[in-house]
Structure 1
Amino acid sequence: MSEQPRDLVVVGASAGGVEALRDLVSGLPADFAAAVVVVLHLPPAGVSSLPAILGRAGPLPAESARHGGTLRPGRIYTAPPDHHLLVEDGRVRLSRGPTENGHRPAIDATFRSAAQARGPGVIGVVLSGSLDDGTTGLSVIKSRGGLAYVQDPKEAIYRGMPESALMRVKMDGVLPAREMGAELAQRVRETVDGCGVPPLSLIDEVEAKAARAGERVAASLPEVVDVTNPSKFACPDCQGVLFSLDERGMRYRCRVGHAWTAQALFQQQSQEIEQALWAGLRALEEKRDLAGSMCEDAQARGFPLVATRYQWHAEETSRAVEVLRQFLLNGLPAPDGPADELSDESA
């Protein structure tokens, strides 16, 4: 029998996540016996202030993760902007691999790598956020013998991520963020059997390879096109064909590695449709105004039949403008329904 400590905690958060992270780390003791890796969805540009925020919130020092740095117990490591934070052989690996659900850093990429590297020695935590980021990665952690925790959706500022994880992953605990620290402190003192841990599935291996883009990986590992079937959908990032990663069509990747859950893809499509409709409205208004100018010019030059034709175009286009404007202002449904908000919070 080979025993190993639970020595790695990976935490994912998105919208509303700064407050939840602050509450969680405030409950961690100074002698916390594991490294804590934090992924918060961030805009790609700029410098994150998250390490300073978390360092002030509790007794553990926090720092932005550095490529090749050793993960040490009792320290918090945050993912820097525009990089996936991956775990490999007890060290940090930063990667600019393809985005997942439009994000880099991506929660699922970190969770997946932690499960691959540490197996049952990992504890995964999903906090406040919209949509369903973190659910897939948390399920991989559970499949490798790790523990899964989620913030109580009733106290989360955004319930989407906690509720998604609860629906699809068997949890070891559902707690308010402020109570999470004490619970984790107890669990990281446990040792677990490191033998008999099932390997990653082939799909998970392929996804892990995608996140490590630019690094050396097993040459024999297949590509996503070799182990999946093409879907009917296009990737919003590169317009390539998306390949279905499961039988129900709830997760997708394109040939070059961009990953989408069905929920995130639906939201992105809704945003693109709205952008296209606003562009269409602008084009219609320009056409109406141009037809009006051409009508006036034809009248001034003494061509009444031509003027009448352009007047008809102006009136028809004006009616289309009003219909489309009213639809955009009143009739376009929110991607996640009327009760959910879909903004991201960054640090």
Structure 2
Amino acid sequence: MTGKSPKVIVIGTSAGGMQALCKLLVNIPDGLPAAIFIVQHLSVDSSAPFLVQRLSQYTTLNCKVAEHEATIEPGTIYMAPADRHLLVNNEKMLVVRGPRENQFRPGIDPLFRSAAAYFGVNAIGLILTGFMSDGVLGMEFIKRSGGTTLVQEPQDAEFPALPLNVIRQVAADYVVPLDEMGALLADLTHKEVSESVTVPADIRQEAQTAERIMTNSTMTSIQDLEEAGNRSPYSCPECGGGLWDLSQPGTIMRYRCHSGHAYSKETLLLGMDNHLEETLWVALRTLEERRNILLNMSQGETDKGNRRWTTIQEERAEEMKTHIERLRSILSKNTLSDEEQLGQLG
């Protein structure tokens, strides 16, 4: 793939993203010869049209909510709608529900991976403020495919964890503050890339697999996963299925189940932690319910004057109380707030 094809800019951000995007767009000049695609982590009840309207106040570029199978137009900004992944595929974009990746939908990695697979050296990836590590793998995909990678200077970011996670694992081409990023993007989109780079087979294969899963609501065959990677000893936190390690030697570890859920190592660990916490709360509730039943049984035996059976039930209830207190102690000491969990990944 050469640098003569149209360029695309893919942007990923989460916490603090809207403020950063507005500041970025102010500094992007008119006549940008590239389309811009944005994934901002959104709650399912967020209004993408409202956010697009807000962005349009800071730029003369055309701003739209991405639509399924719409043609890609240079000089246009497309934002992923809530609860939908945004992918690019040659001249069209795909807006699909699909399985969550890194526990997000829309996810940054799916967009960046598709840009790397189909645009190669003509893909420009940009990570802004945010938490966690969704986007780290995507940046590596773009880097390995010959594209250009930009990261917001962490000290310039409202929430530096995501930029720091990228910088720690990917040799980004540029790390700059928002004030300098608009002019840099303009220069990069006007610059013709002379070298030819072949997109790695594993990136193209995974992009096509994810596209097929998301558009056709089909599962990945076990055979395809066996050919793409190695079966890992881990289970998917979302569906319980087995996970395959798809990483290549010398690349960042990544996992995918045959249902289509995908993870970096950080998001897999966080998913496991959340699943473990849920399991402990269920166990705590079950023990408390069992203790209440034992106490009721004890009271019933007392009313009947059966002291022996009353004592047995009281002893069992006291044993339950000990287990309950231990579980409560574990949950109170080891359960982190969402903010603390996200911050730790920085």
Look up the SS of the partner of 2:244 in the other structure. strand
For residues 100-140 of structure 1, the C-alpha deviation after alignment (integer angstroms, 9 at most, x for no partner) is: 11222221111111122222112110112222111111122
Q: Quick check: 1:254 aligned with 2:254? A: no
Q: Quick check: 1:55 aligned with 2:56? A: yes
CA gap 1:15/1:3 in 2 versus in 1, 3 angstroms: closer
Look up the SS of the partner of 2:190 in the other structure. coil
Look up the SS of the partner of 1:71 in the other structure. coil
Residues 70 and 92, structure 1, Cα contact 8 Å, conserved in 2: yes
Amino acid at match of 2:268: L
Q: Which residue of 2 aligns with 1:127?
A: 128
Q: Quick check: 1:9 aligned with 2:9? A: yes
CA gap 1:91/1:204 in 2 versus in 1, 3 angstroms: closer
**Counterparts of 1:163 and 1:6, CA distance in 2:** 30
Q: Which residue of 1 aligns with 2:188?
A: 187
**Counterparts of 1:339 and 1:7, CA distance in 2:** 33
Q: Aligned-pair distance for 1:300?
A: 0.8
Q: Aligned-pair distance for 1:241?
A: 0.5
Q: Quick check: 1:197 aligned with 2:197? A: yes
For residues 292-337 of structure 1, the C-alpha deviation after alignment (integer angstroms, 9 at most, x for no partner) is: 1111110110110000001111222222222222322234356896
Residues 42 and 83, structure 2, Cα contact 8 Å, conserved in 1: yes
CA gap 1:216/1:3 in 2 versus in 1, 3 angstroms: farther
- Pairing 1:109-128 to 2, within 5 Å after superposition: 109-128=110-129
Further displaced range: 40-49 or 228-237: 40-49
Q: Aligned-pair distance for 1:12?
A: 0.7
Look up the SS of the partner of 2:294 in the other structure. helix
Residues 69 and 92, structure 1, Cα contact 8 Å, conserved in 2: yes
Amino acid at match of 2:300: D
**Counterparts of 2:89 and 2:310, CA distance in 1:** 72
Higher relative contact order (CA 8 A, sep 6+): 1
Residues 116 and 203, structure 2, Cα contact 8 Å, conserved in 1: no
Moved over 3 A (4+): 44-47, 214-217, 331-339
Further displaced range: 103-112 or 306-315: 103-112
Amino acid at match of 2:273: S
Residues 13 and 128, structure 1, Cα contact 8 Å, conserved in 2: yes
- Pairing 1:70-219 to 2, within 5 Å after superposition: 70-193=71-194, 196-202=196-202, 204-213=204-213, 214=215
Identity of aligned residues (%): 34
Q: Aligned-pair distance for 1:45?
A: 4.7
Structure 1 unmatched ranges of 5 or more: 343-347
Look up the SS of the partner of 2:71 in the other structure. coil
Further displaced range: 165-174 or 263-272: 165-174
**Counterparts of 2:175 and 2:189, CA distance in 1:** 17
For residues 46-95 of structure 1, the C-alpha deviation after alignment (integer angstroms, 9 at most, x for no partner) is: 53232122112333231101122222222110011222211122221223
Q: Aligned-pair distance for 1:235?
A: 0.9
Residues 33 and 73, structure 1, Cα contact 8 Å, conserved in 2: yes
Q: Quick check: 1:230 aligned with 2:231? A: yes
Amino acid at match of 2:22: R
Q: Which has the higher helix share?
A: 2
Amino acid at match of 2:199: P
**Equivalent pairs, count:** 337
Structure 2 unmatched ranges of 5 or more: none
Residues 128 and 151, structure 1, Cα contact 8 Å, conserved in 2: yes
Q: Aligned-pair distance for 1:29?
A: 1.6
Further displaced range: 304-313 or 4-13: 4-13
Amino acid at match of 1:320: H
Q: Aligned-pair distance for 1:288?
A: 2.0
Q: Quick check: 1:324 aligned with 2:327? A: yes
Q: Aligned-pair distance for 1:281?
A: 1.8
Normalising by structure 2, we get a TM-score of 0.88
Further displaced range: 307-316 or 81-90: 81-90
Q: Quick check: 1:308 aligned with 2:316? A: no
Q: Aligned-pair distance for 1:341?
A: 6.7
Normalising by structure 1, we get a TM-score of 0.88
Q: Which residue of 1 aligns with 2:241?
A: 240
